[in-house]
Amino acid sequence: MTVAPFVKIRRDLHKIPELGFQEHKTHAYLMQYIGSLPQDCLEIQTWRTGILVKVNGKKPTKTIGYRTDIDGLPINEATELPFQSEHEGRMHACGHDLHMSIALGILTYFTKNPINDNLLFIFQPAEEGPGGAEPMLASEEFQKWMPDMITALHIAPEYKVGTVAIKEGLLFANTSELFIDLKGKGGHAAYPHKSNDMVVAACQLVNQLQTIISRNVDPLDSAVITVGKITGGTVQNIIAEDARLEGTIRTLSVESMVKVKERIEHIVKGIEIGFECKASIDYGAMYHQVFNESKLTREFMDFVSDRNDVELFECREAMTGEDFGFMLEKIPGFMFWLGADSSFGLHNAGLNPSEEAIGTAIKLMTDYFTFKGNSR
């Protein structure tokens, strides 16, 4: 099967990145392509902006799931590619355009080369936020076609094309968004004693948050708190009445996540007392760890090891977050890194993964599903 059509699909999708649950153009594009395929063995359901496509097997005894994410990120693209984003402030900076084109390539193959077992292709919205996997998993549509096992991949810019990186057990961390709003008393810059300055309070809070990892988390465990955005005040000569911190929490254990949040709440209460202000905490989207089931993961690793066209690398766990973890919590399966060889990393405005990874993944996964779906 030629790869060129799926490179074109990737470029088409790269032009129209959309945020979670707003993927209307993306949904329409995917539906148009899926509708152009032979429909003899296909069944299709939609859920919000997501799509479920079942390829009915010849003699099914199980259903194998394959999930791809479809949303983009709120980033201004800086690649200068001829097919760069047409949506200002939006970019496929996490490789979901490649993920979708790979999924369509695998789907296309199996509409013409059916296997014994059923295949379920899951085009999931809102992976980047607010989180589409958990509600999609609970939906009537998904429950109707609940797979017996499930797989997914994620591009990895740091690995060369032709590399598959994976491990049994924990692959990605538990993650949570973090939003803290501070409300004080504004006033004239010349009279700070008559105000409660929330810029100063926010700066103190950022510093105190960093002590949680060094002093409240087991040194043999791992966790990180990142404050990626601070806003506060209006102009240079008015003391800020409001401030907002936006960040993330990432931990390798559920226990550490509980502990970190407990300490955040204690520290924020201290800020309220110390600066005579009001504070509120919102944890936003919280993603469950990605935990690869040992038996299926080892079987896949053995499958990859026997190939000459792909190199297997047994990697370490990462602090990356992925809401595919919710699916793996309920369904046995695994996720792996796919080498994509970009000098810029994930969530970077310059990300430009190698399109050669598309063909590598389509070939690998069509072979794997053929092996898995015909074995008895």
Task: Specify whether the backbone of 129 is left (phi greater than 0), alpha (psi in -120 to 50) or beta.
Answer: left
What are the structural domain ranges in the chain? 4-171+289-374, 174-286
Q: Catalytic: which of 77, 128, 134, 322?
A: 128
Encode pLDDT of 340-359 as tens digits.
999 999 999 999 999 999 99
**Cis, peptide link before residue 130, omega less than 30° from 0:** yes
CATH topology of domain 174-286: Alpha-Beta Plaits (3.30.70)
**How does the average pLDDT of the chain come out, rounded?**
97
Contact by Cβ (8 Å): 135, 288: no
Contact by Cβ (8 Å): 267, 212: yes
List the one residue out of 74, 52, 83 whose CA is nearest residue 65: 52
pTM over 0.75, yes/no: yes
Write b or e for each residue in 143-161: b if 16 or more Cβ atoms lie within 10 A of its Cβ, otherwise e: eebebebbbbbbbbbebeb
pLDDT exceeds cutoff 80 at 376: no
What is the sign, positive or negative, of the torsion defined by CA atoms of 353, 250, 280, 227? Answer: negative
pLDDT exceeds cutoff 90 at 36: yes
CATH 3.40.630.10 at 4-171+289-374, yes or no: yes
Contact by Cβ (8 Å): 52, 120: yes
Which tokens is 66 given? 């394959």
What lies within 8 Å, CB to CB, of 101 at 6+ separation is: 6, 7, 9, 10, 13, 358
Question: CA dist 320 to 101, 106, 168, Å?
Answer: 22, 26, 16
- The residue-averaged pLDDT of 228-238 equals 97
Q: Give the pLDDT score at 338.
A: 98
Respond yes or no: is residue 311 known to be catalytic.
Answer: no
List the one residue out of 104, 87, 106 whose CA is nearest residue 23: 87
Q: Quick count: other Cβ atoms within 10 Å of Cβ 8?
A: 13
Q: Catalytic: which of 23, 69, 197, 241?
A: 69
Contact by Cβ (8 Å): 203, 209: no
Respond yes or no: is residue 282 known to be catalytic.
Answer: no
Place of tokens 């929490």: 249
For 271, half-sphere exposure in the C-beta direction (CA atoms, 13 angstrom radius) is 29
- 3-class SS of residue 343: coil
- The residue-averaged pLDDT of 79-85 equals 97
Question: pLDDT class for 1, splitting at 50, 70, 90?
Answer: confident
Q: Give the pLDDT score at 31.
A: 98
- The residue-averaged pLDDT of 364-371 equals 98
Q: Give the pLDDT score at 261.
A: 98
* Neighbouring-strand partners of residue 337: 154, 165
Q: Give the pLDDT score at 268.
A: 98
Q: Are strands 242-251 and 223-232 parallel, antiparallel or unpaired?
A: antiparallel
Q: Give the pLDDT score at 37.
A: 98
Contact by Cβ (8 Å): 27, 51: yes
Distance CA 13, CA 308 (A): 31
pLDDT exceeds cutoff 90 at 375: no
Phi then psi dihedrals of residue 246, to 5 deg = -125, 130
For 72, half-sphere exposure in the C-beta direction (CA atoms, 13 angstrom radius) is 31
Encode pLDDT of 299-327 as tens digits.
999 999 999 999 999 999 999 999 999 99
